[in-house]
Structure 1
Amino acid sequence: MKKIYYLLAFVALAFTACQKQPIVPNPNLAHTPSLTLTLAQADYQMLDTSTYAYKSSAFLSDADAKLNIPLILAAKYPRLDDKSAAAVTFAVGTPTIKLPDSVYKDVAYTLTNADYLLLPGNKYTDFSATQILSWLPYGPKTSAPVANQLAVLTFNYYAGTTTVQTFSYLYLNGAWQQIYMLTPAQYATVDRSSYNQFTSADDASLTAYLNAILKADLTVTATAKIGDIRYVSFNYYNSSKGTNQRVIALTFDGTNWITKSTPESLSFSRADGKWVVNSDISYTLIKEDYTYIGTKTTAGSDAARANVAQYPDFNISAATDATFWSDADLNAALIAVLVNKFKGTATLNQKYIVTYTVYSFGVTSNTSKTFVYDGTAFVVPK
């Protein structure tokens, strides 16, 4: 009986082993895929924690992107073979901080005597800079924060002596942090001391004002390094929305504090076990490019330019349409964008692949054109 049992067990095991096992697909095992990737915050955080891009989720230049994106691709897709390709869209500049609710009366709070006692172990009615950060998780308005939540707190601040101060705090990347907040004296330096706030009339000059204020602050300039980010909190009045508290992220480029975030694209390929940037530069038009074509160029007809400024696509439906874009008109429009975007950095024989949106009989789709810089101008390759 024992021999029969062992024989049956062996047959069952052999039968099981011969069954075709299902294959679970794994994207990292694909040999030579062609990837299209827009970098998300988690992707930037594959970089070393000491890099500014890890914190800002953006690069300051194409050069930085070319240096760091191969590191991201290697970490994200560690098992891809040579000849794999990746078209990567990334942010250049400083990300925009979008607050869930920045109405001043909703984010401003003055601590009461009872509030100070919410901090475990505290017996005093004032806080140091460290204590207020420890208190925020217990505060009545700050104990259950959401991403990018702002809090403008007025409290008894202790730094050797006790004074009443108002500071801004931002819940960023899972933690509360104190951010830079304009003082009445700083509003005065840009002639905004009447109400200590900016208005919609200041929109065009706002970045310049904030840059001047930060550059004049010796506590900032003494330690500023390229890539440093300052989240600047300021009061803003809008006639339709009332008084708001806004936050703008500014990045130090070595000379000025700038705010700019635009998507750009580069193509990469894997060779000899490493990701390298392709010599071709891929660029996809963004809404601002269509506006630029419509308002700053002479490409196409007046009606076509007005149409593309209003709708971010080119009408190629019928030549009889007043807003029709011929192939020659399209070339002129795209070359104008290349001149605006890349003339300062273009090198001889550099190839640019430009992707744009067309409209044809009610349907929109993306298509591409290739141009080459001949040392003087962007031209259609022969």
Structure 2
Amino acid sequence: MKKIYSLIAFVAVVLTACQKQPVIPNSAPKHTPSLTLTLAAADYKILGDTSSYAYKSSAFMSDADAKVTIPLILAAKYPLVDDKSKAMVTFAIGTPTIKLADSTYSKVAYTLTNADYLLLPGNKFTDFSAAQILSWLPYKYTSPVANQLAVLTFNYYAGTTTVQTFSYLYLNGAWQQIYMLTPAQYTAVGHSSFNQFTSADAEANIYAYINAILKADLSVAAFAKVGDVKYVSFNYYVSSGKSTYQRVLPLAFDGTNWVTKSTNETLSFARTNGKWELDAAISYTLVKDDYTYIGTQTKAGSDAARANVAQYPDFNISAPTDATYWSDSDLNAALTAVLVNKFKATSNAGQKYIITYTVYSFGKTSNVAKTFVYDGSNFSISTQ
């Protein structure tokens, strides 16, 4: 019997050894002290909401929008980092861009016939209200493509019937009426001859004209909020090809003007209690290129001190009698120069920066940190 039990035990060991063991993934949180990320188009798509501004435009409408949304992206991209991990994220803020399926005026412009009105089920009249024309569009254009434009002239009923021309855009799977310039508005900006802009108009001037028109339109100005986007349809003539187009320009309201913009900003986020949150301060450690920049591109400190810091990536604070000595005020000037060079273009008022740099004192080097705050124009040492 003893031999039989031994044989059974031997077979069990062999079978166990031959069986492929399951791989247990390492799901333990990983500490990542510092992540640096520039959001790509695929990162904005992580949000999954195809109707959102960020998903459609690979940009945020505002800084406030970014602060709320970026933690969702970080949670999806880095689910296994632990608390105290930080991420410095560069992202885009701007208006969406749009490429029309076809902008040739003769192809997008259409005047409804009496038969067209009857395409809308249940309609017996040869005019449409604002709601009816939107309901009618899918019956006329049964297979629309993304960013298809329709400039429609029809009998418009709003208490009384008048002939009107409006622009409609097939955007993100649905038809919507968009803002269209009227003859009176072209006249207001000096383009009354043909009610259009032309290739002789500089792009910047066209943007300025439309901004002025939107600001003067009380139906728009009375309700405009920061981040609102208007898709503006206008007629455009290209003299070289003698061709007429209907262009669409998206503009965003920045609180004062309607603008087209695309800028990059940087914010710092930290993982706390299992969640990504906006970090109160951006942490940055000077690299060798920063010391070179201070030594060769600024006026901080003495000539000898700048030459020394460009050669050795540290600040000599050993003794004031040293030719290469950096005083506290000199250090502040040097660090401020780096902040201006690296962060001013993307900084928001109130943003704090914790800058870590290396000092040399009597033969030893060590790291020191200072906190600066940006007031919207300048960087200064934080007093908080």
**TM score, norm. by length of structure 2:** 0.63
Q: How does 1:21-32 map to 2 (within 5 A)?
A: 21=22, 31=30
Amino acid in structure 1 at the alignment position of 2:345:
K
Q: What CA distance in whole angstroms lies between the structure 2 residues aligned with 1:131 and 1:197? A: 28
Query: Once the 2 structures are TM-superposed, how far is the Cα of residue 234 of structure 1 from its aligned partner?
Result: 0.5
Q: Is the 8 A contact 2:229 2:250 kept in 1?
A: yes
Question: Is 2:59 the partner of 1:58?
Answer: yes
Alignment of 1:79-118 (within 5 A): 80-84=81-85, 86=87, 88-118=89-119
Contact map agreement 2:234 2:247 (CA 8 A) in 1: yes
Q: What is residue 309 of structure 1 aligned with on the other side?
A: none
Name the CA shift for 1:349/1:137 in 2 (closer, same or farther; >3 Å).
closer
CA contact (8 A) 1:45 1:55 kept: no
Paired residue type of 1:95: P
Q: Deviations over 1:165-223 (max 9, x none)?
A: 11001111211100100000000000011111112323121221111101111111222
C-alpha contact 1:52 1:228 (8 A) present in aligned 2: no
Give the SS at the match of 1:234: strand
Distance 1:209 1:53, change over 3 A: same
Residue 198 to residue 32, structure 1, CA distance change in 2 (3 Å): farther
Report the CA distance shift for 1:104/1:123 in structure 2 as closer, same or farther (over 3 A).
Answer: same
- SS state of the match for residue 122, structure 1? coil
CA distance in 2, matches of 1:59, 1:90: 8
Could you tell me which residue of structure 2 aligns to residue 321 of structure 1? none
- C-alpha change, 1:239 and 1:266, in structure 2 (3 Å) is farther
SS at match of 2:192: coil
Give, in angstroms, the shift of residue 159 of structure 1.
1.2
User: For residue 104 of structure 1, what is the amino acid of its counterpart?
Assistant: Y
Match of 2:253 in 1: 252
Whether 1:159 and 2:163 are equivalent positions in the alignment is no
Q: 1:264 to 1:177 in 2, by over 3 A?
A: same
Secondary structure, counterpart of 2:202 in structure 1: helix
Distance 1:193 1:254 in 2: 29
Please list, as runs of the form range in 1=range in 2, the aligned pairs for 1:275-354 lying within 5 A after superposition: 275-277=276-278, 279-280=281-282, 338=342, 341-342=345-346, 345=349
Which residue is 2:222 aligned to?
Answer: 222
Structure 1: gaps (5+ residues): 1-10, 283-298, 300-333, 353-371
Pairs within 5 Å for 1:71-82: 71-74=72-75, 80-82=81-83
User: Aligned equivalents of 1:149 and 1:88: distance in 2?
Assistant: 35
| Structure 2 SS opposite 1:95 | coil
Q: C-alpha distance in 1, partners of 2:183/2:88? A: 47
**Partner in structure 1 of residue 244 of structure 2:** 243
Taking the aligned partners of 1:348 and 1:74, their CA distance within structure 2 comes to 23
Match of 2:138 in 1: 137
1:138-181 per-residue CA deviation (whole Å, 9 max, x = no partner) reads 11xx3212222211111111112221111001111211100100
Structure 1 position 232, deviation (Å): 0.7
Matches of 1:340 and 1:269, distance apart in 2: 21
Is the counterpart of residue 202 in structure 1 residue 202 in structure 2?
yes
1:173 aligns with 2:175: no
For residues 42 and 249 of structure 1, the distance between their equivalents in structure 2, rounded to whole angstroms, comes to 21
Counterpart code for 2:250: A
Shift of 1:46: 5.2
Contact conserved, 2:270 with 2:276, CA < 8 A, in 1?
Answer: yes
Distance 1:214 1:195, change over 3 A: same
Distance in 2 between residues matched to 1:240 and 1:271, nearest whole Å: 60
Please say if 1:128 is aligned against 2:132: no
For the structure 1 residues 65 and 374, does the alpha-carbon distance in structure 2 shift closer, same or farther, using more than 3 Å as the test?
closer
Which residue in 2 is equivalent to 1:325? none
For residues 167 and 345 of structure 1, the distance between their equivalents in structure 2, rounded to whole angstroms, comes to 41
Question: Residues 181-200 of structure 1 correspond to what in structure 2 (within 5 A)?
Answer: 181-200=180-199
Partner residue in 2 for 1:287: none
Q: 1:220, 1:61 → 2: CA distance? A: 19
1:322 maps to none
Q: Deviations over 1:106-163 (max 9, x none)?
A: 2111112222222222222211110110111111xx3212222211111111112221
| Aligned residues of 2:197 and 2:237 also touching (Cα < 8 A) | yes
Q: CA RMSD in A?
A: 4.2
What's the counterpart of residue 71 of structure 2? 70
Task: Work out whether residues 237 and 243 of structure 1, in 8 Å CA contact, stay in contact via their aligned partners in 2.
Answer: yes
Corresponding residue SS for 1:176 = strand
Structure 1 residues 29 and 123, CA, compared in 2 at 3 Å: closer, same or farther? farther
Q: How many residues align?
A: 296
2:40 to 38, 45, 51: 38
Q: Which moves more between the two structures, 188-197 or 249-258?
A: 249-258
Q: Provide the rounded CA distance (Å) in 1 between the counterparts of 2:28 and 2:147.
A: 37
**Deviation at 1:60?**
4.3
Residues of 1 paired with 2:341 and 2:139: CA distance? 51
Shift of 1:79: 6.0
Q: Which residue of 2 aligns with 1:231?
A: 231
User: Whose Rg is larger?
Assistant: 2
1:38–1:88 Cα contact (<8 Å) kept: no
Taking structure 1 as the reference length, the TM-score comes to 0.63
SS in 2 for 1:268: strand
* Maintained 8 Å contact 1:32/1:85: no
Alignment identity in percent? 62
Q: Give the counterpart letter for 1:206 in structure 2.
A: I
Aligned equivalents of 1:29, 1:189: Cα separation in 2: 65
Relative to 1, partners in 2 of residues 1:196 and 1:340: Cα closer, same or farther, differing over 3 Å?
Answer: farther
